[in-house]
Structure 1
Amino acid sequence: MNPDHMPVCKVAAMHVAPVFLDKNATTQKALALIEEAARNGAQLIAFPESFIPAFPVWAGLWAPIHNHDLFARMVAHSLETPGPEIALIAAAARRYQVFISIGISEKNPVSSGGIWNSNLLISDEGRLLSHHRKLMPTFYEKLVWAPGDGAGLQVAATRLGRIGMLICGENTNPLARYALLAQGEQIHIATWPSVWPTKTPGENGNYDNLAANRIRLAAHAFEGKLFGISCAGFMDKAMRDFLVQRDPAVAAILDHTPQAASMFVDPTGAQIGDCLQKEEGIAYCTMDLQQCVEPKQLHDVVGYYNRFDIFDVRVDRSRKKPITWLEDNPPVWPDLGAGDATSGSNS
């Protein structure tokens, strides 16, 4: 990146619904949306949290003893990384020469029922730049996803700038955010579900996705002097009908829980570009990274405006494994000759 000519890029936030709990149909929808955004000039395209195959909102609606079939379906439609669906998305990134951030529910390769809430950043050459698993599922999400690790706390240096991403509640984790800021993050992608109910209608204080997400995105952008992308899912009629047909009592909860918005902020925290909340679509914004420079004069938390002699932050970015084998090579067992029925001794 030439410091005298900072990048200017057009970004797209997909304020869209999945084909609920259908990984194949949702992947095809993602491919069509990528093509549309690329033809409209987008160079960086962001999809919502757990876009493929869906966000498990049912975990906040019913007790877990009533959700076994939904969990099994969620696992069946979660993705392997690498896997065929990711390969299709990577091919689209390469074909249209765009960077893609996409939220998925990811299968654990060594557990038939283990899944993570993950986010992938794919380059314009179709390469995986960052593979982040949500550090800690939030509230009722713990009934669905396992905790991730720090391996994905990475900022990717690209021709568009330094891109980082966090999932939903991680954007309230100051240490996770600082880990990205300390890598020179310039464009931050924050992903969210469409709705996140916490209380029944009539109770005060139901979680306000719209306000909370705007506060967190603006705070991170202001603190880091960077651009922010807030990409939230959308609850379409098919998703609502699926849940209400299962239990009509949840209609009031879904209808009175604030829907999240997809929006953008500049390095001062001010909202810029498009904003979508109550309609499905693609939000666009142009970002000039030169605007990240001047605010650093005033306040630079990863530069001069800190006390590294007082604060010592350490981050473990190793990928956690369920087991470590200590032998140099796996054992090779002898052939028992089971195929030869006449072998052996009768003595």
Structure 2
Amino acid sequence: MSSLVKVAAVHAAPVFLDRTATTEKAISILREAANAGAELIAFPETYIPAFPVWAALWAPIDNHDLFTLIAEQSVALHGPEIAAIRREARALGVIVSMGISESSTASVGAIWNSNVLIGSDGEILNHHRKLVPTFYEKLIWAAGDGAGLKVSSTPVGRIGNLICGENTNPLARYALIAQAEQIHISSWPPMWPTRRPSGGGNFNNVAANRIRASAHSFEAKAYGIVTAGYMDSAMRDFLVARDPSVVEVIDRTQRAASFFVDPTGETVGEMLQDQEGIAYAEFDLTRCIEPKQFHDVVGYYNRFDIFDLTVNRKRLKPVTFLDIADSSSVPELDEVSPQDDALSRSYNGRNLDA
């Protein structure tokens, strides 16, 4: 494993609430980043099919149709969209961190804010569901579990991920630090409205994300990739056309930024905020070692006789069926169906197995 790694933070808008078109766009972005030499490519929070910013703008009684739409456009872990991304990762030989709104095989209305880490061989390395939806996200997503609190060993380093506000959870962050994390990916929405412009000013999302990313990297002595969504004109126009009264909130809410931090918490590489694109940086993983001499919070700089942390990484399920009949010939619900598999091969107009 080389100590030098080129990474990419995708600062891009989805094709709003269209999982098929957004998957096609993601594949195009993967090819562009891979051609630029990126070995690890990180997408924003729930890039497929979109971040539900409307939950901040209108009361839930006005959003039933939008919840139905995002539930219908959410993606299954073993559905055609993730299958297409996996095939592209394998074809390009890159590692992909993809934010999704994940559907459930147990319910047509339960969805999760999730992240999938895909290896350069196309295999799923980790599947994480956001532990607690933040603020108005509670109106959209169910709470996740600890099954995805894992750091994955890859040819480009040991990679961990937390989604948005989870990066404020010290115990979740510590759980990743304690697995020798070297690269921490944090994924974010395109904007985070908390007040009307007349209500005393908005939450400074860029400053807050910089503080959180730098704090984690400083404590973990790891590099950080901060990848945030982007609101394009199509997304803005969709929301404003629905209710013109929100135009001031949308236009005067600070846009999120994508950037990188080093093991000391300083910013490195490129930064994107007000334009769509891909930001790049180069990480030298040997720089994760020396700072451990100063503060190794999972090593000598702790008191394990005083503090004790237990993490439940069991995947939670709503029901367990114990069938009498032999069901060994019956496919699992989350396997790709022949129809879905055929659909996944049609993305971008070519055979993805080629």
CA contact (8 A) 1:7 1:159 kept: no
1:103 Cα offset (Å) = 0.2
Pick aligned residue for 1:196 from 184, 187, 192? 192
Is 1:105 paired with 2:101?
yes
Pick aligned residue for 1:329 from 324, 330, 343? 324
1:331 Cα offset (Å) = 8.6
Instruction: State the one-letter code of the partner of 1:329.
Output: I
| 4+ long deviations beyond 6 Å | none
Instruction: State the one-letter code of the partner of 1:186.
Output: Q
Point out which structure has higher relative CO (alpha carbons under 8 A, 6+ apart): 2
CA contact (8 A) 1:161 1:289 kept: yes
Local SS of the residue matching 2:112: strand
Local SS of the residue matching 1:180: helix
Question: Which structure 1 segments of 5+ residues have no match?
Answer: 333-347
Alignment of 1:247-286 (within 5 A): 247-286=243-282
Aligned to 2:352: none
Aligned to 1:345: none
Aligned to 1:85: 81
Local SS of the residue matching 2:197: coil
In 1, distance between residues paired with 2:326 and 2:185?
A: 45
1:253-303 alpha-carbon deviations (Å, 9 max, x no partner)? 011111110000000000000000000000000000000011000110011
Aligned to 1:309: 305
Instruction: State the one-letter code of the partner of 1:316.
Output: N
Aligned to 1:42: 38
User: Which has the higher Rg, Structure 1 or Structure 2?
Assistant: 1
Is 1:299 paired with 2:295?
yes
Aligned to 2:349: none
TM-score by length of structure 1 reads 0.93
In 2, distance between residues paired with 1:37 and 1:315?
A: 35
Is 1:170 paired with 2:171?
no
Alignment of 1:170-249 (within 5 A): 170-249=166-245
1:7 Cα offset (Å) = 2.0
Pick aligned residue for 2:127 from 115, 126, 131? 131
Question: How many residue pairs were aligned?
Answer: 327
Q: Percent identity?
A: 62
In 2, distance between residues paired with 1:19 and 1:106?
A: 17
Local SS of the residue matching 1:50: coil
Local SS of the residue matching 1:202: helix
Question: Which structure 2 segments of 5+ residues have no match?
Answer: 328-354
TM-score by length of structure 2 reads 0.91
In 1, distance between residues paired with 2:82 and 2:258?
A: 23
Is 1:28 paired with 2:30?
no
In 1, distance between residues paired with 2:7 and 2:133?
A: 27
1:108-135 alpha-carbon deviations (Å, 9 max, x no partner)? 1110111000000000000000000000
1:329 Cα offset (Å) = 3.1
Aligned to 2:331: none
In 1, distance between residues paired with 2:314 and 2:104?
A: 17
Aligned to 2:335: none
1:328 Cα offset (Å) = 6.5
In 1, distance between residues paired with 2:149 and 2:325?
A: 32
Aligned to 2:64: 68
1:323 Cα offset (Å) = 1.6
In 1, distance between residues paired with 2:142 and 2:174?
A: 23
1:330 Cα offset (Å) = 4.7
